[in-house]
Amino acid sequence: MDGLLTAFWFTLQPAALGLMLLGVSAGVFVGAIPGLSGTMLIALCLPLTFFMTPEMAIVLLISIYIGAISGGLITATLLKMPGTEAAIMTTLDGYPMARAGRPGRALGLGIGSSFVGGLISWVALVLLTKPLSIWATKFTAFNYFALIVMALVLIAIITEGSFLKGIIAALLGALLAVPGIDPSSGTPRLTFDLVALNGGIDPIPMFIGLFALGTAFTDLLKPKKEGEGLSTSYRGVIMGVKDYLRHGANLLRSSVLGTWIGLLPGVGAIIGSMVAYSTTKALSKTPEKFGTGCEAGIVSSESANNATIGGAMIPLIALGLPGSLNNVLLLAALLIHSIQPGPLLFVNNPELVYILMAAFFCANIIMYFVMVGSVRWVSRISQIPGYILFPIIVFFCLVGGYAYGNSVADVWMLLSFAVIGFLLDLGGFPKGPLAISFILTPMAEQKLRSGLQIAGGDWSGLYTEPLTLIMLLMALAMLLIPSLGPKLSRRRKRALDKIGSPTPKE
Amino acid sequence: MDRRQEWFITMLIGIVGVIGCWSALQIGGFAFDPLGSRAVPLGVSVLMIGLCVVQAGKWLLPRAPAVSATGAPVDIEKSDMKEDTLAQVGESVEDIFEARQLLAPLGMLTLCLGFIWLVFLERFPISLVTTAFVVVAAQLLPMPNRRRGTLIALMLGVVLGFGAEWLFTQVFFVDLPALG
């Protein structure tokens, strides 16, 4: 408790507050512009965090993360253009309500729900992280290996697009993590006799290339959609106490669902808001109103998508497992400062964990005020033409990549990964599994090797340790279900046809 | 076009897998380490090659027969050859259009290469190279009014060029490439 209070004291200092205000505003700004994302901005800011203390770096990145997830709701509601994927479900009810002459009310519900969702997930973050990290310190090397394998499989199969492509992308990330001197044996691996590769591929230029510059190249292929703007009053933009009470159950349920989904690796805010929206609709007495400007729809979608942020932080801090792309970037920011998230973070850098929690809480409050204050002009920001935005993004990617290590090699690396990112986008391969696997594979390899060394080369620990076995079986099941599921249902259908059962087409 | 793009990129990833596999085979084993340095890169590469072959094979297989809305297969004999030809022409036009779309990212990539080359040549100040970069980059993008857009890009370039140079050198103390 003392640690958390000290952390709050730190985050309330003018420098940290200023950085949070800057981060949230920048996050809301990019979140509101379709094509730009929080991931892009966090990737761009990574080199800048090199010049900050780890505490300040975390404060800035968390604020951007929260701002970006929330910012998408403004354009989703007013222009029917979700600035971020997380706001897609908000469009379904937010835009019809705004069209019906109540944009202020729609935005007010969205902003208030985002705020509550963030706070509820913050409670989970504070309550669950420490017990989970204490439990994780008891993990054996094989347990940890199995956990990472399970997370990798989950990330690869759940991410958008084809299951097979997700796995291929994850394997590509794993292969890209290999180059360098093997820390266990001192042998150079996949370096192709290039001295620059002896230290491995640096994640910072790689992530800026993949997620900022690569995405910018891909965006050049997409024609910019013109939103249908609304110019009405913004009355009702502040959610009243009565509204909070009326939507209390929905807020709580959707936030808990969002937090829980955020905990699962790779699932993300969009799935969180979809599940919460569908659940609320299923439980509603008037499901037909959903999609026509229903208040409960906005509340469930927005509270859940913001709640996923806190949920995703829990495994990142407690286990060192990044569950989402933004969390991979947060992890990279910590690694820049030689801080390794995981069970020992509470022992080695407890102040950092508490600052993260305090920053998360304060950034949510700042987000609320920034959003309420900025709704009038954020919808106009989204209309900034590409010929102004694009050169700025490209320039900051290139100069930021150079500034990070004062090295021309980093810039070439960044550009190479921008091309790889663009090609992956073109081929429909998700980049999330690649990035997460790039970070997790060396961890998994290291745990497996240390487990085997401790056991004297005996592999039996993988199937005799119950927790390891359960997690590996779960990973196997998750791998097999997507490929076997359709075959089984086809076989069942054929069997039904054979015995003459009525099928829908009959 | 999409299917061909996907196939081409899958094959590229497969080639990366082959290179990884070949390179992993060069790594020696060690007695003190039960797993060794080779196992992970080799295993990952082999899996990657295998899955890329499966993925590429999926696109090479003939497409399933078209199914009508009621679930019954469409009678192929009845399909109008003329319509097929028209569809093919349509697809080709679409292909050309999509290939032309690729010119914008390729142009931008070339521009980035030029920018990096000019900056690290250290013959021109980074502020001026940035200004030129912003103006040229803006030309590659759609503008409703080209003259007005170019003027805005020029102003932005000047602000960005001189502002970023000041920000990085004076605030972040980064030694940006300077005149030699």
Q: Which of B8, B34, B173 sits opposite A453 (nearest CB)?
A: B34
pLDDT confidence of A468, banded at 50, 70, 90?
Answer: very high
Residues in chain B within 8 Å Cβ distance of A441: 40, 44
Does A419 reach chain B within 8 Å, measured CB to CB? Answer: yes
Q: State which H helix or E strand residue A189 sits in.
A: strand A188-189
Q: How far is B82 from chain A (nearest CA, A)?
A: 31
Average pLDDT of adjacent 10-residue blocks, chain B of 180 residues: 81 95 85 81 95 86 50 44 50 56 85 90 87 91 87 92 85 71
pLDDT of residue A68: 84
- Position with higher pLDDT, A321 vs A119: A119
Q: Which of B169, B174, B175 should we substitute to test contact with A (largest number of A Cβ atoms within 10 Å)?
A: B174
Q: How far apart are CA A190 and CA A182, in angstroms?
A: 10
Nearest CA in chain B to A445: B40
Q: Cβ(A39)–Cβ(A270) under 8 Å?
A: no
Q: How far apart are CA A294 and CA A324, in angstroms?
A: 30
Cβ <8 Å between A184 and B33: yes
Q: Report yes or no for ipTM above 0.90.
A: no
Nearest CA in chain A to B159: A392
- A450: pLDDT strictly greater than 60: yes
Q: Is residue B57 part of a domain?
A: yes
pLDDT of residue B77: 42
Q: Which of B22, B44, B52, B169 should we substitute to test contact with A (largest number of A Cβ atoms within 10 Å)?
A: B44
- Position with higher pLDDT, A152 vs A121: A121
Q: Mean pLDDT across the stretch A35-45?
A: 78
The pairing of beta strand A180-181 with beta strand A188-189: antiparallel
* Domain-wise residue ranges, chain A: 2-496
Q: How far apart are CA A422 and CA A416, in angstroms?
A: 10
Q: How far apart are CA A326 and CA A308, in angstroms?
A: 12
Residue tagged 């980064």 (tokens): B174
Q: What is the mean pLDDT of chain A?
A: 83
For the stretch A122-160, pLDDT in tens is: 999 999 988 888 888 888 899 989 988 888 887 777 666
Cβ <8 Å between A187 and B28: yes
pLDDT of residue A299: 92
Q: Mean pLDDT across the stretch A350-369?
A: 92
Classified as helix, coil or strand, B161 is helix
Return the closest-CA partner of residue A207 out of A407, A47, A1, A425: A47
Q: How far apart are CA A209 and CA A187, in angstroms?
A: 28
Nearest CA in chain B to A48: B172
Structure tokens at A293: 């400007």
Structure tokens at B115: 């920018």
Nearest CA in chain A to B174: A403
Residues in chain B within 8 Å Cβ distance of A403: 168, 172, 174, 176
Q: Which of B8, B30, B35 sits opposite A448 (nearest CB)?
A: B35
- Tell me which residue range forms the domain holding B139: 105-171
Q: How far is A428 from chain B (nearest CA, A)?
A: 7
Q: How far is B26 from chain A (nearest CA, A)?
A: 9
Q: Cβ(A293)–Cβ(A97) under 8 Å?
A: yes
- A13: pLDDT strictly greater than 50: yes
CB pairs under 8 A between A and B: 176
Which residues make Cβ contacts (< 8 Å) with residue A217, sequence separation at least 6? Answer: A418, A419, A421, A422, A425, B105, B108, B109
For the stretch A208-255, pLDDT in tens is: 888 888 888 888 877 655 555 555 556 777 878 888 889 999 999 999
Residues in chain B within 8 Å Cβ distance of A391: 133-134, 137-138, 153, 156-157, 160
Q: How far apart are CA A470 and CA A462, in angstroms?
A: 10
- A495: pLDDT strictly greater than 70: no
- A486: pLDDT strictly greater than 50: yes
pLDDT confidence of A338, banded at 50, 70, 90?
Answer: confident
The lowest-confidence range among A119-123, A196-200, A402-406, A468-472 is: A402-406
Q: Cβ(A200)–Cβ(A177) under 8 Å?
A: yes
Q: How far is A325 from chain B (nearest CA, A)?
A: 21
Q: How far apart are CA B120 and CA B123, in angstroms?
A: 8
Q: How far is A486 from chain B (nearest CA, A)?
A: 15
